[in-house]
């Protein structure tokens, strides 16, 4: 049991789901502290049967905290994580600030729980697009070793936070009413559109979001030889990221063998019947914690290739749920107290 847990960014879209998950999954703790920016300080939030008052996010807030689950922008995470660590607080960080730092264990509990064994107090949760992809890849990697991945993402507005979801709704209404609309969260009009850039230009024409999928996948699997070719696209869907994935394995996997691998793996649900028009859909997967797989088929361009469709709630398994699962796994590795 944790003596004291802090949820940082408790009033945000991911923070609120973290609180719901702590309650619904019965994560054991004696004391809970909610932290957020100055504009949210003093707000009241109900968690289970108890009401909590949001406290200011200051370094001293981490005194006597066992575990902090943090969902903040990168610039905030860069200063708060060291402050928490020097107060002997273990941190699970959702931001992109620390994922590739050598001191951080980058963890998806179904995929690489062994990375928690010798953590140095800092555990990073991967980018939402990476998380669902590596869950889908893991059973195939165990069965036949993944060599190459070509992935295209179709990412929901909620991936840009509450502001992104709000802008999609407002933009859609404006377009339907034939009114002028100036986007602020997204670089272009998202309604009735697709934006083939998420993040800034990083290297060789790839964006920062795309390169996260490359480097994070290699770190999670502990294998820099895995080649990943990503294209990340923002689409006008409220919630749930979708991905088309081509995976090339060292040994050929039949469709039947791959389906069995998926079906037996924890955290994956297969919905795959093309004749009945059954496959994962974002509007049906939202609010769920699993990674959904469908459209499993042999690739026509390489002998050891498989294609499939992958959908997951980016706010849940892509962020909040994964963080709380890490907290659960940490208790198994290093019990805090009885």
Question: By the 8 A CB rule, do 257 and 143 touch?
Answer: yes
Question: By the 8 A CB rule, do 92 and 70 touch?
Answer: yes
Question: By the 8 A CB rule, do 237 and 282 touch?
Answer: yes
Dist CA 315 CA 338 (whole Å):
31
- Please give the sequence-ordered ranges of beta strands (E in DSSP) within the chain, or none if there are none: 2-8, 29-36, 44-47, 50-53, 55-56, 67-70, 90-93, 105-106, 122-124, 146-155, 201-203, 206-207, 227-234, 241-249, 268-270, 291-298, 305-312
Count, residues in the chain: 338
Dist CA 4 CA 80 (whole Å):
17
Alpha helices for the chain (secondary structure H): 13-24, 74-85, 128-144, 161-176, 208-221, 255-263, 282-285, 321-333
How remote is the C-alpha of 3 from its chain's centroid?
26
Catalytic residue set: 128, 241
Q: Is 193 helix (H, G, I), strand (E, B) or coil?
A: coil
Residue found under tokens 């708060």: 80
* DSSP letter, residue 272: -
* DSSP letter, residue 26: T
């Amino acid at each position: 049991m944790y003596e004291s847990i802090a949820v940082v960014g408790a009033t945000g879209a991911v923070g609120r789901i973290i609180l719901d998950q702590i309650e619904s999954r019965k994560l054991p703790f004696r004391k809970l502290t909610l932290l957020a920016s100055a504009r949210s300080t003093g707000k009241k939030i109900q968690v289970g049967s108890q009401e909590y008052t949001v406290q200011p996010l200051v370094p001293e807030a981490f005194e006597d905290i066992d575990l902090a689950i943090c969902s903040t922008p990168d610039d905030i995470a860069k200063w708060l994580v060291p402050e928490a660590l020097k107060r002997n607080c273990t941190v699970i960080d959702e931001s992109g600030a620390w994922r590739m730092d050598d001191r951080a264990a980058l963890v998806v509990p179904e995929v690489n729980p062994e990375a928690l064994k010798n953590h140095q107090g800092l555990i990073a949760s991967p980018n939402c697009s990476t998380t669902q992809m590596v869950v889908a890849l893991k059973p195939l990697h165990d069965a036949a070793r993944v060599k190459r991945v070509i992935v295209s993402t179709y990412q929901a507005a909620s991936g840009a936070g509450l502001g992104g979801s709000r802008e999609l709704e407002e933009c859609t209404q404006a377009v339907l009413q034939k009114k002028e609309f100036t986007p602020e969260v997204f670089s272009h009009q998202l309604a009735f559109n697709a934006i083939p850039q998420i993040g800034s230009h990083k290297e060789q024409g790839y964006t920062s979001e795309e390169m996260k999928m490359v480097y994070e996948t290699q770190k999670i699997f502990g294998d820099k030889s895995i080649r990943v070719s990503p294209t990340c696209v923002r689409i006008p869907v409220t919630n749930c990221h979708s991905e088309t994935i081509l995976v090339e394995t060292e040994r050929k996997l039949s469709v039947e063998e791959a389906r069995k691998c998926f079906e037996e793996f924890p955290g994956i649900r297969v919905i795959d019947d093309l004749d009945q028009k059954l496959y994962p859909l974002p509007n049906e997967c939202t609010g769920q914690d699993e990674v959904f797989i469908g459209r499993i088929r042999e690739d026509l361009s390489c002998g050891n290739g498989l294609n499939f469709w992958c959908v997951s709630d980016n706010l849940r398994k892509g962020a909040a749920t994964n963080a709380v699962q890490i907290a659960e796994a940490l208790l198994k590795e290093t019990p805090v107290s009885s």
